[in-house]
Chain A
Amino acid sequence: MRDILAILEQNAKATPEEISEMTEHTPEEVREAIAQAERDKAIVKYKAVINWDRAGEEKVMALVELRVTPQQDVGFDSVAKRIARFPEVRSLHLMSGGYDLSVLLVGSTMQELSSFVTMKLAILEEVQGTTTHFLLKRFKEDGVILDGEDGVKRLPLTP
């Protein structure tokens, strides 16, 4: 199972037949393992890593640090789930250290994200404060270096 997931994590488009060629599993076993992983939510989603700059689309991203008052019985869960529902929120993590929730926002303009922070996040009762950092440049996304240098060539024949 681990070997199948490792391949899919690198290439979500790999077919069961292709995965079978690279492992000890039959295509049928691969299909079944993937179905099981999907049922278990071990596979959450299939996606492509897009470099939007290259696609000619402007995207603005901001990392927002939220300081939050935990609530009785539910801690941070309740407010976190509430924030996570907003489509502008691309990822959300509970952190240790100087703040509590780390929120990554994606939008089309700075204005759009600024107003989202002030109108939707800052006003939440549990939120004590926000610090917003706009992303200036993306260098690495989901483990992939964007605009990486061209590979260095090996000698074509070596002993």
Chain B
Amino acid sequence: MERTGSSASLSPHRDKSLSNNQEPDHTKSPLSQRVKDLAPSGIRRFFDIISTMDDVISLGVGEPDFVTPWRIREAAIYSLEKGYTMYTSNFGLLELRQAISGYLKERYNLTYDPTNQVIITVGVSQALDLAMRAILDPGDEVIVPEPTYVSYIPCISLAGGVPVTVPTHMENSFQVRPSDIEARITPNTKAILMGYPNNPTGAVMPRQEMEQIADIARRHDLLVISDEIYERLVYGVVHTCFASLPGMADRTIHLGGFSKSYAMTGWRVGYACSNPEITEAMMKVHQYTMLCAPIQGQMAAIEAIRSGDGAVEEMREEYNRRRHLMVRGLNRLGLNCVEPQGAFYTFPSIKGLGMSSDEFAERLLVEERVALVPGSAFGPSGEGHVRCCYAVSLEEIEEALERIGRFVRSLKGGS
């Protein structure tokens, strides 16, 4: 279709330099097969629709609605004034690595040497990419519970690995069953990728089941990559850090960051902690592809760890109030959801309304101007659900529920 224009403009240059005045091969794609094989984003077309509309309430966001607490912003401004504008060590600022090491020790009794077991990354997104590229050979399988955060599968594929999904279900509160993981292990399985508290379902894994998964990892000699970006946002339960389970520190790549807890998504600071061998391997990829995370973000992160606890708790309490409002409101409208115990998402069921999650999301957007993300964007087992983010104001949640209610009634009335 329209794409041929761009490929034609690229191909002749390439062909000219490689061949002896032969006719350029216009059939040759400028794109790698690996990239062509990636599934398109499930939300991009909604983005296009929203851009043409006013007065949209978006429950489709994946970030806090708070601005980074002032003390943290102020620390970054101060660092600029002092002239911190240069590269940092590839590992990241030692002071930040020490702070993270201290934080994980205090919170989860984990011991990571800041000199060779902590690496500062450009958000957890990059940490995840580094982890995959550091450990995967072509054909290695990674087991991923599904619905899954949108980057997990592409990251595995781009690193040459093979994603193996494990569906989770509402009946089981979207918690992955250890036996379901074990049933998918093959001689090619290299790792299990866990993301709890979960985006998009808000599920938190109970400690007992995490211990069973740890046991499976040990018995089958698997690594665990644990994305715990939402660790501070849990409600009424205690977050268990995967690496803190007995014997797991050495075979876990712990991924954490500042984006969600401290409302610092745009700063792009995350970290990965693991044993020295894996950390060194991730560092190798990192130094050639990224050099280091932005220094302002790193300076801000140091302040976040030092003084951000109060602000994190304040924001968590506010999310909790919104969570109650959102979950009760959706259940009342007949869009049943299990009570999410973490992150800031709820994943209600739209089964019974006679349409796909994609159609539901599009019609709700067009007819009532409420944006949310269809569950299918998070894998086939997300179908029949939509992701509603409650990191929006109480007033907006109330108005969104009103509009969703009107939409659902119109569907039921019309059927």
Q: Which residues of A contact B (CB under 8 A)?
A: 3, 6-7, 21-24, 151-152, 154-159
Contact = CB atoms under 8 A, between A and B. Distances in A.
B317 A157 contact: no
B60 A152 contact: no
A156 B67 contact: no
A157 B325 contact: no
Contacts of B56: 156
Contact of A7 (B50, B63, B321, B373): B321
Interface of B: 41, 43, 46-47, 50, 56, 58, 60-63, 65, 67, 149-151, 199, 317, 321-322, 324-325, 328-329, 371, 373, 377, 394
B61 A158 contact: yes
A16 B41 CA distance: 43
Given A3-B317, A22-B325, A22-B394, A158 B62 contact: yes
A156 B322 contact: no
Given A156-B371, A157-B47, A23 B58 contact: no
A159 B58 contact: no
A153 B5 CA distance: 35
Of residues A24, A151, A155, A159, which shows the largest number of chain B Cβ atoms within 10 Å of its Cβ?
Answer: A159
14 contacts: A21-B324, A22-B322, A22-B325, A22-B394, A24-B324, A152-B67, A154-B61, A155-B47, A156-B47, A156-B56, A157-B46, A158-B60, A158-B61, A158-B62
A158 B63 contact: yes
B61 A155 contact: yes
B324 A157 contact: no
Given A157-B46, A159-B149, A159-B151, A22 B58 contact: no
A157 B373 contact: yes
Nearest to A23: B324
Contacts of B377: 159
B317 A6 contact: yes
Contacts of B43: 157, 159
Nearest to A149: B67
A16 to B, nearest CB: 14
B380 to A, nearest CB: 17
Nearest to A159: B150
Given A21-B324, A152-B67, A157 B371 contact: yes
A154 B389 CA distance: 13
Contact of B58 (A24, A151, A157): A157
Contact of B63 (A3, A21, A154): A154
A92 to B, nearest CB: 28
A7 B325 CA distance: 13
Contacts of A154: 58, 61, 63, 65
Contacts of A157: 43, 46-47, 50, 58, 60-61, 371, 373
B338 to A, nearest CB: 17
B394 to A, nearest CB: 7
B322 to A, nearest CB: 7
Contacts of B373: 157, 159
Contact of A22 (B47, B62, B63, B324): B324
A134 to B, nearest CB: 27
Contacts of B47: 155-157
Contacts of B151: 159
Nearest to B394: A22
B178 to A, nearest CB: 27
Nearest to A14: B394
Contact of B325 (A21, A24, A155): A21
Contact of B321 (A22, A152, A155, A156): A22
B355 to A, nearest CB: 20
Of residues A152, A156, A158, which shows the largest number of chain B Cβ atoms within 10 Å of its Cβ?
Answer: A156
Contacts of B321: 3, 7, 22-23
